[in-house]
Every structure is written in C-alpha cells, then in structure tokens.
Amino acid sequence: MKKIRFGKDIVILWQVLTDGEHTALGCRDLKLEIRNSLNRVVVLPMHVSDTSCVLKAIYHGKDHSSLGRHTLTLIENYGQCDQRIIDAPQVFALVKSTAEE
C-alpha cells in the first residue's frame, strides 16, 4: 500500500473493468466515493472518457480529514435498478510526515 503525506493533492487513475472487459465509462451513471479509516465518506468529482475504462479524480489535500487507510468505491446507477458497486480497498494510507512516505 502506498503511503502519502497528509495534505498533498492525490491524483487517482483507476482502470475499471466491467465483467472482465474493457468497457467505456463515459455514458454510465457513476459515483466515486473515498472512505477513510474513520468511515467518513467524501464524494469525489471525476472525469471519464467516452472511449476509455479509466477514470480520473483528484482528492485534494484540503479535503483530507484523517490519517490512515483509504478505500475507493465506485457505484453505478446509485439508488436505481441494476445498481452495481466495486471497491478498491486500502488503496493508500495518509501519513503525518514526509519521512513516513
């Protein structure tokens, strides 16, 4: 797991496969959440291409609220029929100093 200094902007690139296939994400109803070790959830704005299965988001340092492990959750069709969810557990840990990175 990657360790990142608390307060730094974090660029997230996530390749998402659908049923094991590369499927474009651009036309889908998606919501990206990041959850910290205290179970606080932040919804991250993201960019997806009409032709790619990679999403891009930035978790700004000003939005960090606690140290520790963080998990990404991608939800498709939130609150609708055919809702789907995928997690990237413990994708990184925020640490208190550059030396800990």
- Read off the tokens for 47: 């960019």
Give the pLDDT of residue 49.
84
Give the pLDDT of residue 29.
94
41 forms bridges with which residues in the sheet?
35
pTM of the model: 0.90
Sign of CA dihedral 18, 24, 29, 31: positive
Can you list the residues of the chain whose pLDDT is less than 50?
none
Most distant CA pair in the chain: distance in Å?
47
